[in-house]
């Protein structure tokens, strides 16, 4: 059975998350249902990251096994046709080796978190960013964020429901910048690592927002990290500002088509 890599974009708002769940809408379930329209049977796909309810993706990667030798472009077009009207799109498709795996072959995950600082309620950006009504000190947030970069025990910053065997992870980047947009001042978090714990990015952002608001200091962030206790974490921010932007592999399966 030939294996195909899928580059997937979606709005996570209508879904209970990536992972298929009985009786609930999921991105995985939507794609598997579309695959069943092309080859009528049960399909099971795997993804690089199991995003939570409300989390978006511009560069999620999944793989599927097909019985027929599909032209990758025709497969992506057929899937996009059957995915309508769900807010899910296959941006690219490529044939891969049989042992290539969207999750286990990945070397890096890249996330973006967006905060919009403004008093007015959201209209066009509703469901796409986390709105805070107060100003944030971006320099203080960035300084505090660097306390988290590197290899650490991130017990404080993972959900109590996290199923990872170890809380020790290496955070490669956590950069924060402010940009001016027509909607207001947007604060962007560029977060990169080989892998993440459950709720790790949202725990980082919620804690660092407290630094930007003046309620915490960089030393408070360090103390929370060193505590290795979930209770020491700041508030966990909502999901709607989080995007899985891309997944890195030793050899990019989509390189020839981009």
Residue with tokens 């027509």: 182
- Nearest Cα neighbor of 56 from 113, 108, 5 is 113
Burial 80-91 (b: 16+ CB within 10 A, else e): eeebeebbbbbb
Residues 169 and 151: beta-carbon distance below 8 Å: yes
Of 217, 115, 208, the residue nearest 157 (C-alpha):
208
Contacting residues for 142 by C-beta, under 8 A, at least 6 apart: 175, 176, 177
From the candidates 52, 99, 153, 175, give the one annotated as an active-site residue.
52
Is position 190 annotated as part of the catalytic site? Answer: no
d(CA 33, CA 188): 34
Structural tokens at position 59: 């560069």
CA distance 246 to 96: 18
For residue 192, how many other CB atoms are within 10 A of its CB?
18
Q: Tell me the catalytic residues.
A: 52
């Amino acid at each position: 059975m030939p294996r195909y890599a899928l580059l997937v974009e979606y709005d996570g708002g209508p879904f209970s998350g990536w992972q298929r769940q009985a009786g609930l809408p999921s991105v995985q379930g939507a794609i598997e249902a579309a695959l069943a329209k092309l080859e009528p049977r049960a399909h099971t796909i795997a993804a690089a990251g199991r995003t939570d309810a409300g989390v978006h993706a511009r560069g999620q990667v999944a793989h599927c096994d097909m019985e027929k030798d599909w032209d990758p472009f025709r497969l992506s077009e057929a899937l996009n046709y059957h995915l309508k009207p769900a807010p899910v799109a296959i941006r690219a498709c490529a044939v891969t080796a049989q042992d290539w795996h969207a999750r286990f072959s990945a070397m890096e995950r890249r996330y973006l978190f967006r905060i919009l600082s403004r008093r007015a309620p959201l209209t066009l950006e509703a469901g796409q960013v986390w709105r805070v009504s107060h100003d944030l000190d971006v320099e203080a947030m960035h300084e505090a964020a660097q306390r988290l970069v590197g290899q650490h025990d991130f017990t404080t910053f993972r959900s109590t429901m996290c199923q990872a065997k170890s809380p020790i992870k290496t955070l490669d980047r956590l950069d924060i910048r402010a940009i001016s947009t027509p909607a207001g001042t947007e604060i962007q978090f560029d977060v990169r690592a080989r892998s993440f714990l459950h709720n790790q990015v949202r725990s980082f952002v919620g804690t660092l927002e407290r630094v930007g608001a003046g309620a915490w200091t960089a030393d408070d962030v360090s103390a929370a990290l060193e505590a290795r206790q979930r209770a020491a974490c700041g508030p966990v921010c909502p999901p709607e500002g989080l995007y899985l932007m891309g997944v890195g592999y030793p050899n990019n399966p989509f390189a020839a088509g981009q």
